[in-house]
């Protein structure tokens, strides 16, 4: 399936390491890439995260959102900084959520996916939830605005 | 026009809703152009509140914490006229449903909603739905804190939540600020109840895993006392446990109540607390300024000191018996002296429960402008509420509501029936609900008799999904389909009052449609014969049990 | 008296994509809102073919399916199930009108 990364409307060449299923990878940690099922416990990777360049998280169908939680735990709690790929045929309408949860590459064969990816980060200029994408939340912006107004008034 | 006395969108909120409208417009365009299949489009339209029902698309509009300004209600009337057939249905979850929407016009309808800071985001789909509250919030005499402040905080946090937009199943949160729970917090995925601990500090009891539907369950208390500023962290932790571990193999076992039931409340608590540990000091912790800024917007309207005893009211009471009954059933105490909370009954005799025409919506908006600081509430019992009415204005409000057909003195009575849309509209239903409600309503229309019967809640659902809350009706009625015939299963003794929350017990074999009224009449007659002083139907039921009722109803079969 | 209670007679129905309106497939493979113009399949084979044709014409409708119907002596067809009767004929009670301030 075509692979997309942010910044490119066309598929990129998939020339990275081939991810191994988690159970296999535990036996033989030769690969720097691991493929997780959405039922796998991501925290089991914790001691070995530094050696990983790619983790793939799977969306067996659009409506199964378990991998969003896996992604946030990897990024936010475990501090994983390598590539985080959404597999299983991602649709463009998932992109704003995926990006906010820390995914940075995507498998998709949907027409128009690449163009949608270019616009996905700006589709919503406002976010309410703090996540590791670092975007200031509405609450934070309001507090900032308030302190600016207060200091201007002083 | 006076400012609303509840949360007003700022530019951020407005921008998000506007961007969402444009996203949906593009999704509809792609669907109509054939770029999206129905399978791909369905979850997208559902998270914008758009269903495909039997005859048309249905748009479910969120009315956050059941609070509306007159301006918003007028806009709802206008939208129902422009994009629908000029009427709408207020639901048990503080939503308004329009039944005849066209897909090609849905983005325009939603854009019109945005003009008055409203939306239909997440009114369907497997995500966090509209958070409901006590419909007397901010006015009730028995309130500890206004729950709507917290509903608004939850609304913002849950809107387009990146992690929780594809949960195993829908997720409903309700918040009550009063010891007398009017938000049914024990039958929600998460129910939050304010109370004060020994130090006088207000916080939440967190109740998880309640719900009606196919497998009704009463929620379990996961946290006795949660400090208020940790609410979002605790919700996020709970939702994460549910998102990861909730069942996805069987649609009927996917709600959080099944997870809590299967792993047990103790294990659920451990899992949630473990997640919560990692989150409670994160950016999810609410800054005092954030809470205050939102709370300020819910400051009560400037109620002037008013007379508590009004001769005109006393005189009309003697003159007009229906007014006297109306005062008893439709008027509740307000915290401010000289004021009252008025419930406009959307259950006139024989009407489809919860329905209002565009003209009626506008009429209620006018009354709210004149007498209730332009504010209206939607109750989960499918009525409208005028929360801040001066006692001296009650006669005028009564007459004005009467002209709309909304002054029926039946709140809490046998004709104040909750009913889902049923098989007349709904693609999931097995049997009709509205015609059954209409027949019962007509049969018991006499007000004096209704008041003699006293408080009695009838709740009707057209299928096991229980949108009509039949499990918690004093008399619950569930429509089932048996070889093409509509039958109705009757249950007794359900209740949502706090401390008494109970699921009804099935009376016996389901009865045919044409026997429902007779059966209800027999139940009522049985109660009237054996009740003791001051006993409501449900009290008598609790005292004597189901058998006497059963014997009578099935005696003639 | 209905000729057929087991539902051997079938029509193809769906909701129209643009507005959700109930439609039926006619003999010319067009979607119509009139049940009396629906093409009736009179045996299982014909029903299969009808559903195939409906699916082939499904770009403008949502999820076509077969509806069991009965036919009276005058050739008038009516769905068997209450649900489909309501889909074909509309609400079984009078909805409140836009400008009315009282029901009924």
Widest CA span in chain A: 64
Average pLDDT over residues B250-265: 97
Residues of B in contact with C86 (CB under 8 A): 54, 423-424
Residues A47 and A21 in one domain: yes
Give the separation between CA A17 and CA A11, rounded to whole angstroms. 17
**Do C18 and B102 make contact, defined as CB atoms within 8 angstroms?**
yes
User: Does residue C3 fall inside a structural domain?
Assistant: no
Q: How many domains does the structure of chain C reveal?
A: 1
Contact (CB<8Å) B435/C93: yes
Whether C69 maps to a domain, the answer reads yes
Interval B271-281: pLDDT, tens:
999 999 988 88
CATH class of B140-296: alpha beta
Q: Which of B31, B359, B410 to mutate to test binding with chain C, by most C CBs within 10 Å of its CB?
A: B359
DSSP B498-552: TTT-B--EE-SS-EEGGGHHHHHHHHHHHHHHHPPTT--HHHHHHHH-SHHHHHH
State the pLDDT confidence band at B556, using cuts at 50, 70 and 90: low
Helix (H, G, I), strand (E, B) or coil at B446: coil
Per-residue pLDDT tens for B216-243?
Answer: 999 999 999 999 999 999 999 999 999 9
- What is the average pLDDT value for chain C, to the nearest integer? 92
* pLDDT tens column, A126-140: 999 999 999 999 999
The pLDDT assigned to B434 comes to: 98
On whether both A112 and A140 belong to a single domain, the answer is no
pLDDT digits (tens, 9 = 90+) for B12-49: 999 999 999 999 999 999 999 999 999 999 999 999 99
Does A73 share its domain with A139? no
In B, minimum Cα distance to A130 occurs at B283
Q: What distances in angstroms separate CA C95 from CA B100, B403, C42, C103, one per listed residue?
A: 12, 19, 36, 8
Q: What is the CATH number of domain B11-114?
A: 3.90.480.20
Token pair 């090609």 in the structure block, residue:
B104
Q: Average pLDDT for residues B298-307, to the nearest whole number? A: 93
Contact of B193 with B181, CB cutoff 8 Å: yes
Q: Residue A21: which domain range?
A: 3-123
Q: Dihedral of the CA atoms B446, B450, B451, B454 (nearest 10)?
A: 180
Decide which of 1.10.760.10, 3.90.480.20, 3.40.30.10, 3.30.565.10 is the CATH code for B311-404.
Answer: 3.90.480.20
pLDDT at B438 over 60: yes
Q: Do B283 and A65 touch (CB under 8 A)?
A: no
In this structure, the answer to whether residues A130 and A115 fall within a common structural domain is: no
Chain B with chain C: Cβ pairs closer than 8 A: 104
CATH classification at residue A93? 3.20.20.70
Helix (H, G, I), strand (E, B) or coil at B244: helix
The predicted structure's pLDDT at residue A153:
66
Residues A32, A19: contact at Cβ < 8 Å? no
Using a CB–CB cutoff of 8 Å, tell me whether B162 touches chain A.
yes
Whether B535 and chain C come into contact, CB under 8 Å, resolves to no
Residue C5: its pLDDT value, please? 41
Residue B313 has pLDDT above 50, yes or no: yes
Q: In terms of domains, do A87 and A149 share one?
A: no
The residue written with tokens 């054939």 in the block is: B34
Domain, as residue range, for C73 = 9-89
Do residues A113 and A135 both lie within one domain? Answer: no
**Out of C91, C99, C103, whose CB is closest to B405?**
C103
Place of tokens 């104040």: B416
Contact C98 B104 (CB under 8 A): no
Nearest to B85 among C80, C82, C98 (CB): C98
Taking the C-alpha atoms of residue B194 and residue B144, their distance in angstroms, rounded to an integer, is: 7
Q: Which two tokens stand for residue A8?
A: 């490119």
Q: Does B469 touch chain A (CB under 8 A)?
A: no
Of B272, B231, B235, whose CA–CA distance to B145 is shortest? B231
Claim to verify: residue A72 and residue A141 sit in the same structural domain: no
Query: Which of B222, B134, B228, B132 lies closest to B172, judged by CA?
Result: B132
CATH class label, B418-555: alpha beta
Query: Residue B282 corresponds to which tokens in the numbers above?
Result: 């994160």
Residues 46-75 of B with CB under 8 A from C: 52-57
Of B243, B284, B290, the CB nearest to A66: B243
Closest residue, chain A, to B152 (C-alpha): A128
Number of domains forming the structure of chain A = 2
Q: Provide the CB-side half-sphere exposure for B146 (13 A, CA).
A: 23
- Asked if B140-296 and B311-404 have one fold, the answer is no
Contacts of B292 in chain A (CB under 8 A): none
Domain ranges in chain B are 11-114, 140-296, 311-404, 418-555
**What's the mean pLDDT when you consider all of chain B?**
96
Residue A134 sits in the same domain as residue A79: no
pLDDT at position C27, please? Answer: 96
Same-domain check for residues A116 and A52:
yes
Pull the structure tokens for residue B345: 């009954």
Q: Residues A47-71: what's their mean pLDDT?
A: 95
Q: What angle do CA B162, B46, B125 make, to 5 degrees?
A: 55
A78 and A131, same domain (yes or no) = no
pLDDT band for position A16 (50/70/90)?
Answer: confident
Q: Which of residues 200-259 of B touch C (CB under 8 A)?
A: none
Contact residues on chain B for A148, CB-CB shorter than 8 A: none
In angstroms, what separates the C-alpha of B249 from chain A's closest C-alpha?
Answer: 11
Q: Does C45 fall in a domain?
A: yes
Q: What is the pLDDT of residues B49-69, one digit of tens each?
A: 999 999 999 999 999 999 999
pLDDT exceeds 80 at position A154: no
């Amino acid at each position: 399936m075509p692979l997309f990364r942010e910044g490119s409307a066309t598929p990129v060449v998939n020339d990275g390491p081939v991810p191994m299923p988690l159970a296999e990878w535990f036996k033989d940690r030769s690969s720097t890439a691991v493929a997780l099922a959405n039922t796998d416990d991501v925290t089991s990777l914790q001691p070995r995260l530094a050696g990983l360049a790619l983790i793939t998280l799977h969306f067996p169908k659009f409506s199964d959102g378990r991998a969003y939680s896996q992604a946030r735990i990897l990024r936010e709690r475990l501090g994983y900084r390598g590539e985080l790929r959404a597999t299983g045929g991602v649709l463009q309408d998932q992109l704003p959520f995926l990006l906010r949860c820390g995914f940075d590459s995507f498998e998709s064969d949907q027409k128009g996916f690449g163009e949608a990816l270019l616009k996905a980060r700006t589709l919503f200029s406002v976010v309410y939830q703090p996540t590791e994408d670092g975007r200031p939340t509405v609450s934070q912006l309001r507090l900032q605005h308030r302190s600016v107004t207060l200091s201007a008034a002083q | 026009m006076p400012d609303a006395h509840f949360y007003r969108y700022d530019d951020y909120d407005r921008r998000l809703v506007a961007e969402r409208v444009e996203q949906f417009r593009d999704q509809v365009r792609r669907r109509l152009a054939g770029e999206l299949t129905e399978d791909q489009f369905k979850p997208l339209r559902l998270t914008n509140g758009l269903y495909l029902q039997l005859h048309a698309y249905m748009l479910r509009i969120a009315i956050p914490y059941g609070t509306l300004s007159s301006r918003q209600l007028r806009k709802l009337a206008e939208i129902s006229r422009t994009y629908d057939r000029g009427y709408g249905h207020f639901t048990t979850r503080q939503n308004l449903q329009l039944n005849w929407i066209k897909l090609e016009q849905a983005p325009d309808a939603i854009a019109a909603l945005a003009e008055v800071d409203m939306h239909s985001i997440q009114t369907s789909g497997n995500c966090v739905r509209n958070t409901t509250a006590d419909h007397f919030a901010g006015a009730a005499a028995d309130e500890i804190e206004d729950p709507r402040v917290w509903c608004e905080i939850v609304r913002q946090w849950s809107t387009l939540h990146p992690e929780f937009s594809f949960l195993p199943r829908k997720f409903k949160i309700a918040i009550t600020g009063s010891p007398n729970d009017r938000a049914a917090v024990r039958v929600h995925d998460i129910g939050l109840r304010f109370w004060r601990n020994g130090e006088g500090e207000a916080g939440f009891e967190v109740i998880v895993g309640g719900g009606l539907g196919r497998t009704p369950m009463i929620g379990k208390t996961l946290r006795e006392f949660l400090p208020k500023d940790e609410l979002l962290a605790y919700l996020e932790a709970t939702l994460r446990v549910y998102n990861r571990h909730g069942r996805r193999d069987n649609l009927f076992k996917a709600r959080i109540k099944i997870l809590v039931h299967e792993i047990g409340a103790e294990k659920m608590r451990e899992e949630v607390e473990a997640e919560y540990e990692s989150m409670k000091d994160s950016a999810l912790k609410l800054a005092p300024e954030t809470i205050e800024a939102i709370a300020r917007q819910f400051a009560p309207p400037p109620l002037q000191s008013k007379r508590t005893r009004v001769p005109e009211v006393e005189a009309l009471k003697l003159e007009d018996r229906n007014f006297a009954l109306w005062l008893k059933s439709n008027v509740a105490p307000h915290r401010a002296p000289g004021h009252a909370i008025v419930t406009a009954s959307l259950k006139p005799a024989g009407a489809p429960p919860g329905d209002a025409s565009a003209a009626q919506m506008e009429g209620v908006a006018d009354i709210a402008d004149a007498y209730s600081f332009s504010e209206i509430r939607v109750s989960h019992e499918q009525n409208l509420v005028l929360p801040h009415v001066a006692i001296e204005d009650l006669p005028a409000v009564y007459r004005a509501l009467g002209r709309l057909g909304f002054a029926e003195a039946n709140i809490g009575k046998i004709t104040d029936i909750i009913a889902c849309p049923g098989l007349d509209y709904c693609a999931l239903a097995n049997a009709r609900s509205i015609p059954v409600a209409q027949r019962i309503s007509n049969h018991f229309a006499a007000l004096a008799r209704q008041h003699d019967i006293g408080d009695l809640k009838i709740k009707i659902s057209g299928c096991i999904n229980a949108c009509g809350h039949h499990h918690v009706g004093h008399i619950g009625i569930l429509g089932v389909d048996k070889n093409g015939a509509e039958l109705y299963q009757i249950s007794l003794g359900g209740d949502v009052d706090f401390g008494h929350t109970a699921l009804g017990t099935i009376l016996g074999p389901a009865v045919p449609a044409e026997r429902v009224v007779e059966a209800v009449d027999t139940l009522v007659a049985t109660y009237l014969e054996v009740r003791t002083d001051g006993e409501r139907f449900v009290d008598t039921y609790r005292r004597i049990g189901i058998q006497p009722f059963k014997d009578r109803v099935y005696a003639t079969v | 008296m209905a000729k057929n209670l087991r539902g051997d007679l079938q029509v193809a129905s769906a909701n129209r994509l643009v507005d959700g309106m109930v439609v039926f497939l006619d003999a010319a493979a067009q979607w119509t809102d009139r049940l009396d113009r629906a093409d009736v399949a009179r045996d299982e084979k014909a029903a299969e073919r009808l559903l195939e044709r409906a699916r082939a014409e499904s770009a403008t409708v949502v999820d076509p399916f077969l509806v069991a119907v009965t036919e009276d002596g005058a050739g008038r067809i009516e769905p068997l199930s209450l649900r489909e009767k309501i889909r074909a004929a509309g609400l079984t009670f009078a909805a409140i009108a836009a400008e009315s301030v009282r029901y009924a």
